[in-house]
Amino acid sequence: MTSPLPTSLHSSELAVTTRALSKQYGALRALHDLALQVPEGAVYLLVGPNGAGKSTAIKILIDQVRPTAGVAEVLGLNPQVHPALVRANVGYVPEQLDWGYGWMRVGRLLEHHARYFPTWDAAYANRLAKSFALKLDQKMSTLSKGQGRRVHLVMALAHRPPLLVMDEPTDGLDPVMRDEALGVLIDHLAQTPTTVLLSTHHVSEVEQLADHIGVLRDGELRAQMPLDELRRDLRRYRAEIPVGWQGTSMFGDAVIRRVTTRNEVDWTVWGEESVVAGELVGAGAMVCESAPLSLHEATLALLTQEIGR
Amino acid sequence: MTSIALHTPPRWRTVAGEQIRTVRLFLRRTGLLLLALYGASIVIAIKVAFTARDQVVDGNLAHVNNAYSPASSIFIAIVACLLPFGVWQDEDPGRRGYHWAMPVTRHTHAVTRVLAGWVWLMAATVLYLLVQAATVVITERITGEPQSYGPTFAAWEWLVPFTAGTIAYMFVSAAAVGSRQPIAWVVGTVLLYSVLLSLLTLMGYPEAANRVASVYSGEYGVRAAMLGHIDTLDAVHRQTYSSLARWLGSTAIWGAMGAALLAWVSYRRPKSS
């Protein structure tokens, strides 16, 4: 038997948890019953199409948005009760760049930011600014989207927070800077014990970095698991089938993508390989190929899965 | 529970110091303009004093009066009304994402920023009074006459600009903190009050009109708080007199209302969040 996609982790040490988290904007349901579990030390990739609720979930974690129902816990703290303490421990890169200090120069803004974070590492901030080719005398209002993103990355990393929450951190960066940013992040994680919650559409970029994934669609968590498990149990099966094969609807919702022709099936199925292959053979199909998916392919499959067929 | 050692948020004193520096940096050009204005007023006072010294009017020497008047607190109140628009420029409630991601609560951010602006307002007030005092001394030196031709004022009346500025600043700051259209709220409130007063008078409700008018000109009205004195109108004359008790009372009433309004808008969260 195959099982449905897992939505909970078996980890006792969690940096971020949410329980039955819901957010309603008038008639619009942004989040429903979200149970996010980000293990300590993990690099958790949160994926979902635009409007899936990723940014809302992230904003709830730093108390920028209050949930309609449910509870969030960040590093053991409720953000609604301890908003300042939570934010002191989070390096946040927002999706939208909201400055309010457009008249400030980059160097002055970094100084300003440093005063709010007692653990600010000035030497590290300078190194990061150099790596990101930031001009410290440039006015914030004149920065491009990519430059603004780089300033945010410096601000998020330089106080070495235990938790990084990054909403589309590479959005607006050119390919060279994207590479640089990921290199910096890899170095940072090697030097500083950090949990990362990362939301991005560019999943292939972070494949080498991420170790957990959560899939959010229409405000609901469709799947949540370690990436190893995803790579192991989400596979593409190509099998030859006899004419008039009766197994076209087997496995139910465990089939993430189902392409069936007259004499062949090309399915993406969630389940233990031996079990899936065994059941296919048992149903009269001849399995020709069983291959793991790349993170990009897996994400695409999970995001385009038709639910409740 | 997590085993991670948590970082502490910043001390409020550090945040307040940084906000004071930030507001100073942002307002430095406005501050220079104000300094130029103060300098110009001294230059004009000197010129007037020199002109008056040798001038004879109707066979008598002309007098010049540059004595301090608490009515000049209106200038500080105007500065106080304009200041919040500078302090909160580009930071209406829809554009505070950066500030609301900082390790201080929203209301702490709002109150601290307001306080930072107030510190500079008080500095401007001190400087303004020093300019006033210097003008008196310089005029006396030039004309050789004591500056006591106008009404004399009690020592407490030198405090009126501080309280007047603070009250005006708190109300306008509340509009700037809580609304995306603070100018509309400030101007709208004044207009609404004026229209209501005019309507009641025109429609023949003198008693109601008097009550509404007392909000401004009553014994504990805005005017008493802003100027430190009130007007009484008998059958013939309008008399102006200052009263410490009325000033203290009106300052307490309007100051408390301004503070309460400011606290309310600072704690209130926009509906979308």
Q: Nearest Cβ partner of A92 from B5, B25, B101?
A: B101
d(CA A269, CA A276): 8
Q: Nearest Cβ partner of A116 from B2, B4, B102?
A: B102
Burial class (CB in 10 A: 0-12, 13-18, 19+), A79: buried
Top residue of B1, B2, B21, B268 to mutate, by most chain A CBs within 10 Å, is B2
Q: What is the DSSP string of B157-202?
A: GGGHHHHHHHHHHHHHHHHHHH-S-HHHHHHHHHHHHHHHHHHHHH
Rounding to the nearest 10 degrees, give the CA dihedral for residues A154, A158, A164, A168: 0
A100·B272 Cβ contact <8 A:
no
Q: Tokens representing A97?
A: 């760049």
Name the pLDDT band for B234 (thresholds 50, 70, 90).
low
The one-character DSSP state at A2 is -
What value does the mean pLDDT take over residues B36-40?
A: 93
Beta strand pairing call for A220-226 and A195-199: unpaired
A103·B90 Cβ contact <8 A:
yes
Residues of A with a Cβ under 8 Å from any B Cβ are 13-15, 25, 40, 59, 62, 64-66, 75-77, 83-85, 87-89, 92, 94, 96, 98-104, 108, 112, 115-119, 159, 161-162, 193
How remote is the C-alpha of B42 from its chain's centroid?
22
B18·A116 Cβ contact <8 A:
yes
Q: Hey, what amino acid is at A103?
A: W
Q: Does B105 touch chain A (CB under 8 A)?
A: yes
A84·B108 Cβ contact <8 A:
yes
Q: Nearest Cβ partner of A13 from B3, B97, B269?
A: B3
- pTM of the entire predicted model: 0.88
The Cα of B183 is separated from the nearest Cα of chain A by a number of Å equal to 18
Query: Residue A306: CB partners within 8 Å, gap ≥ 6?
Result: none
Q: Does B5 touch chain A (CB under 8 A)?
A: yes
d(CA B129, CA B68): 8
Domains, chain A, with CATH or none = 14-228 (3.40.50.300), 232-304 (3.30.70)
Closest chain A residue to B19 measured between Cα atoms? A112
Q: Does B60 touch chain A (CB under 8 A)?
A: no
**C-alpha radius of gyration, chain A, whole number:** 22
The Cα of B212 is separated from the nearest Cα of chain A by a number of Å equal to 39
Q: Chain B 8-37, CB below 8 Å of chain A: which residues?
A: 8-10, 14-15, 17-18, 22, 25-26
Q: What is the DSSP string of chain B?
A: ---SPPPPPPPHHHHHHHHHHHHHHHHHHHHHHHHHHHHHHHHHHHHHHHHHHT-EETTEE--------GGGHHHHHHHHHHHHHHHTTT--GGG-TTGGGSSS-HHHHHHHHHHHHHHHHHHHHHHHHHHHHHHHHHHHHHH-S-S-SS----GGGGGHHHHHHHHHHHHHHHHHHH-S-HHHHHHHHHHHHHHHHHHHHHTT-HHHHHHHHHHHHSTTSHHHHHHSEEEEE-SS-EEEEE-HHHHHHHHHHHHHHHHHHHHHHHHPPPTT-
Q: What is the pLDDT of residue A309?
A: 43
Query: Is-contact A25 B272, C-beta < 8 A?
Result: yes
Closest chain B residue to A111 measured between Cα atoms? B18
Q: Does B151 touch chain A (CB under 8 A)?
A: no
d(CA A90, CA A99): 18
On average, the pLDDT of chain B sits at 88
Q: What is the pLDDT of residue B45?
A: 86
Taking contacts as CB-CB distances below 8 angstroms, the residues of chain B near A83 are: 105-106
Q: Nearest Cβ partner of B99 from A40, A100, A115?
A: A100
User: From first to last of its 309 residues, what are the pLDDT tens digits of chain A?
Assistant: 566 888 888 877 999 999 999 999 989 999 999 999 999 999 999 999 999 999 999 999 999 999 999 999 999 999 999 999 999 999 999 998 877 788 999 999 999 999 999 999 999 999 999 999 999 999 999 999 999 999 999 999 999 999 999 999 988 889 999 999 999 999 999 999 999 999 998 898 888 899 999 999 999 999 999 999 999 999 999 999 998 888 878 888 888 988 888 889 999 999 999 999 999 999 889 999 999 999 999 999 999 886 554
A118·B108 Cβ contact <8 A:
no
Q: Does residue B239 surpass a pLDDT of 70?
A: no
pLDDT tens figures, B202-231: 999 999 999 999 999 888 999 889 888 766
* ipTM of the modeled complex: 0.86
Taking contacts as CB-CB distances below 8 angstroms, the residues of chain B near A59 are: 273
Query: Residue A274: CB partners within 8 Å, gap ≥ 6?
Result: none
Beta strand pairing call for A195-199 and A43-47: parallel
Q: Nearest Cβ partner of A98 from B3, B4, B97?
A: B97
For chain B, the structural domain boundaries read 12-267
Q: Nearest Cβ partner of A112 from B22, B90, B108?
A: B22
Q: Does B267 touch chain A (CB under 8 A)?
A: no
**Which H/E stretch holds residue A31?**
strand A28-34
Q: Nearest Cβ partner of A103 from B8, B17, B26?
A: B26
What value does the mean pLDDT take over residues B256-272?
A: 90
Q: Tell which residue, B33, B64, B61, B35, has the closest CA to residue B47.
A: B64
A103·B14 Cβ contact <8 A:
no
Q: Tokens representing A102?
A: 């457009």
Q: Does B103 touch chain A (CB under 8 A)?
A: yes
The Cα of A99 is separated from the nearest Cα of chain B by a number of Å equal to 6
Burial class (CB in 10 A: 0-12, 13-18, 19+), A211: middle
